[in-house]
Amino acid sequence: MRLLQRFYLVEVLSGLALTAAHFFRNMGLHLAHALGRKTARGAVTIQYPEERRPYSPRLRSLHRLVRREDGSPRCVACMMCETVCPARCIYIVAAEHPNPEIEKVPARFDIDLGKCVFCGYCVEACPEDAIRMDTGILEFSSYSRDGMIYTKEMLLALEPAGRDGRPTSPVPIPADRRP
């Protein structure tokens, strides 16, 4: 340690100069912004609900059930996703499909998002490409545990995210928050 450093004072002053330089630079930028120069930004803050970072296309967001052309789920209730799920948050009740060419259909397909760990194993395990995690929806919340259980109908209604990663369908409203 140099003698000068042992006295704190010089080092303290250089530190203060650094932070003060940041302060006055940012203050000037804020002032320029307020006076009309909209390109001047004094902070790196992203004001979250209004501003968002672009999401990566690989982002694992809220699940959706892929539909056939007639609107019924592509899922054949093979239970692969329910089996592979490490959090055991998928509950499927299988039923017969009216079309004999299709084996089965889920009568119920519930995902408990309160348990889900968003690992994406269900998407990888699915042999029918019937479940995907590409909605871009991240903000789901509920006042109760039951409200975190998303049903087949809710998941079927979702659309994939747009090109910028933004969600294109509205956030599903859980049962306990519906008016």
Partner 1 sequence: MSAADLGIAFGRVAFVMLFVLNLGGLLTWVERKQSAIMQDRIGANRASIFGFRLLGLFHPLADAIKMLTKEDFRPARADPFLFGLAPFVSVFCALVAFASIPFGDVLRVAGREIPLQAVTLNVGILYVFAMLSLGVYGVMMAGWSSANNFALLGGQRAAALMISAEIAIGASIMGVVMIYGSLNMMDIVRAQGRLFWGWLPAWGIVTQPLAFVLFLTAGIAATKRIPFDTPEGESEIIGYFIEYSGMKFGMFAMADFLETVVIAGMTTALFLGGWQVPYLVPDGFRFPWGGAVALPHLLVTLLQVGAFVVKVCAMIFVMMLIRWTLPRFRYDQAMRLGWLGLFPLSILNIVVTGIGLLLWGGRA
Q: Is position 26 an interface residue for partner 1 (rule: CB under 8 A)?
A: yes
The Cα 26–Cα 32 span in angstroms is 10
In the complex, the smallest distance separating the C-beta of residue 43 from partner 1, rounded to whole angstroms, is 5
In the complex, the smallest distance separating the C-beta of residue 41 from partner 1, rounded to whole angstroms, is 9
Question: Which member of 47, 56, 69, 71 binds partner 1 (CB under 8 A)?
Answer: 47
Q: Is position 39 an interface residue for partner 1 (rule: CB under 8 A)?
A: no
Q: Give the contact letters, 85-124, x = binds to partner 1 (CB under 8 A), - = no.
A: ----------------------------------------
The Cα 149–Cα 173 span in angstroms is 11
Token duo for residue 109: 């397909």
Degrees (nearest 5) of the Cα angle 149, 76, 175? 20
H or E stretch covering 149: strand 149-150
Q: In what order do the strands lie in the sheet with 90-96?
A: 90-96, 104-112, 149-150
Q: Is position 45 an interface residue for partner 1 (rule: CB under 8 A)?
A: yes
Using CB under 8 A as the criterion, which residues of the chain lie in contact with partner 1 when the complex forms? 8-9, 12, 15-16, 18-20, 22-23, 26-27, 30, 42-45, 47
